[in-house]
Structure 1
């Protein structure tokens, strides 16, 4: 075991269970949602990470398997985001928004050679970027749809003034969809001052020095910000065009 690495064993399991139960109690007793959803999420995370840990070694030995695993992550992210938006039938458009954010970022970092074209480097970077784009797409689309439904009268008024449907919708929903970028912006602004995010900690625990960890984290943060900004922009335009969750006009 490397010095500074997480200590596994009964104590770790006990702490994880305690924190999960505490979270469920806070959510349930505080009226913040379903405590069962918290427990299910924690249990799913444990099972999924255990499964990934068992197969990841084999996957990382093959470039083809690595590519398949990245595509699987993308497919799951797309399906998850589509369900969260309430547009399960529009999964292809949801995938376009997420992919439109992820593809340029991964292409840039791999083509430039700043991330080695090796499975052990590609998988974590791809997972982080895909996850960020998924969250940004879900939040932006949901905010845009909520705004359009709430302010539908303003949308009709804009049409009456001669605006095209897409332009009228964008006037209503674009500002609120931009709020989806607040979390990544705040994380980028405060990194090192308020938080030490996962990539930094992970690289440190892996035995690298603080400078290397800082460079890695900066790459992750800027890449995430770019991917999420692109995903938000594409998502809000798809909503306004009636491609993503067209039923908001009903």
Structure 2
């Protein structure tokens, strides 16, 4: 039986937000305003996007489909940029990483016949790729900033001994790429045992046979592993140079 959420049910379920508001108030977290703004934005943004997607899916126009994907990537890149304070051209780096991972992964899914060339499939999967790449890049930026600050003296010593900036930064690059990929790898290890992920749960709720839903979820997990790997590597190898000046010295 398919799950149907009526407007009344949805309105009543918003009462769950009061739980978060109460905890924030009780523990003096100062998050009440952010929670309210987040809820309002969620409702408005998803409602608008829902109607826009309905229109895009209906007319099946490739120009609009590409535009929607670019809007997703630009927003993801902008959010990733905010997690890399002090990194020059963080937006451009994030955009290149997210665009590349989206083209490679979604293109592979289309080439293998896993996805059809229709907006109803291309746009949602592009959104999943961009979203997960955005999170991975944010973790990479945080790791880069922390590592370059904490290991400043070691890097200076390596440079003084004649090491090139890539060699001097090699351990930091490895740590940062690992930081970006770790959440997805951990999720892959526990999928099905700890949680039923979004794709699988959504299909089961929609009435799809659980065995068939598993195939889709396996495909998604493989997709996300490739996505975070590609995005993390590109972001780290483009961003680490921004910690050096034109004389190859640490800023």
User: Contact 1:93–1:238 (CA<8 Å) still a contact in 2?
Assistant: yes
1:74 aligned to 2:73?
Answer: yes
- RMSD, matched Cα: 2.5
Alpha-carbon distance between aligned partners in 2 of 1:32 and 1:103, rounded to the nearest angstrom: 41
Alpha-carbon distance between aligned partners in 1 of 2:6 and 2:133, rounded to the nearest angstrom: 31
Question: What is the number of residues matched between the two proteins?
Answer: 246
Query: Which residue of structure 1 aligns with residue 109 of structure 2?
Result: 109
Rate the CA distance shift 1:232–1:30 in 2: closer, same or farther, 3 A. farther
User: Contact 1:81–1:134 (CA<8 Å) still a contact in 2?
Assistant: yes
Alpha-carbon distance between aligned partners in 1 of 2:169 and 2:26, rounded to the nearest angstrom: 39
Rate the CA distance shift 1:151–1:22 in 2: closer, same or farther, 3 A. farther
Alpha-carbon distance between aligned partners in 1 of 2:225 and 2:24, rounded to the nearest angstrom: 29
Query: Which residue of structure 2 aligns with residue 55 of structure 1?
Result: 52
Gaps of 5+ in 2: none
User: Contact 1:136–1:232 (CA<8 Å) still a contact in 2?
Assistant: yes
Alpha-carbon displacement from aligned partner over 1:52-95 (angstroms, at most 9, x marks no partner): 11221111122321221111111111111112222474321221
Shift of 1:108: 0.5
Gaps of 5+ in 1: none
User: Contact 2:143–2:175 (CA<8 Å) still a contact in 1?
Assistant: no
Query: Which residue of structure 2 aligns with residue 242 of structure 1?
Result: 242
Q: Any residues of structure 2 matched to 1:83-94 within 5 Å, and which?
A: 83-86=82-85, 87=87, 89-94=89-94
Rate the CA distance shift 1:179–1:28 in 2: closer, same or farther, 3 A. farther
TM-score, with structure 1 as normaliser: 0.88
Shift of 1:227: 0.5
Query: Which residue of structure 1 aligns with residue 7 of structure 2?
Result: 9
Q: Any residues of structure 2 matched to 1:137-176 within 5 Å, and which?
A: 137-176=137-176
Query: Which residue of structure 2 aligns with residue 121 of structure 1?
Result: 121
Alpha-carbon displacement from aligned partner over 1:145-179 (angstroms, at most 9, x marks no partner): 11111221111122122211122123234214412
TM-score, with structure 2 as normaliser: 0.88
Alpha-carbon distance between aligned partners in 2 of 1:105 and 1:237, rounded to the nearest angstrom: 20
Query: Which residue of structure 1 aligns with residue 36 of structure 2?
Result: 39
Alpha-carbon distance between aligned partners in 1 of 2:113 and 2:63, rounded to the nearest angstrom: 19
Shift of 1:220: 0.9
Alpha-carbon displacement from aligned partner over 1:221-240 (angstroms, at most 9, x marks no partner): 11011110111111111222
Rate the CA distance shift 1:123–1:172 in 2: closer, same or farther, 3 A. closer
1:19 aligned to 2:13?
Answer: no
User: Contact 1:170–1:240 (CA<8 Å) still a contact in 2?
Assistant: no
User: Contact 2:24–2:32 (CA<8 Å) still a contact in 1?
Assistant: yes
User: Contact 1:90–1:245 (CA<8 Å) still a contact in 2?
Assistant: no
Alpha-carbon distance between aligned partners in 2 of 1:160 and 1:139, rounded to the nearest angstrom: 29
User: Contact 2:244–2:250 (CA<8 Å) still a contact in 1?
Assistant: no
1:191 aligned to 2:188?
Answer: no
Alpha-carbon displacement from aligned partner over 1:199-218 (angstroms, at most 9, x marks no partner): 11112233322122111111
User: Contact 2:88–2:242 (CA<8 Å) still a contact in 1?
Assistant: no
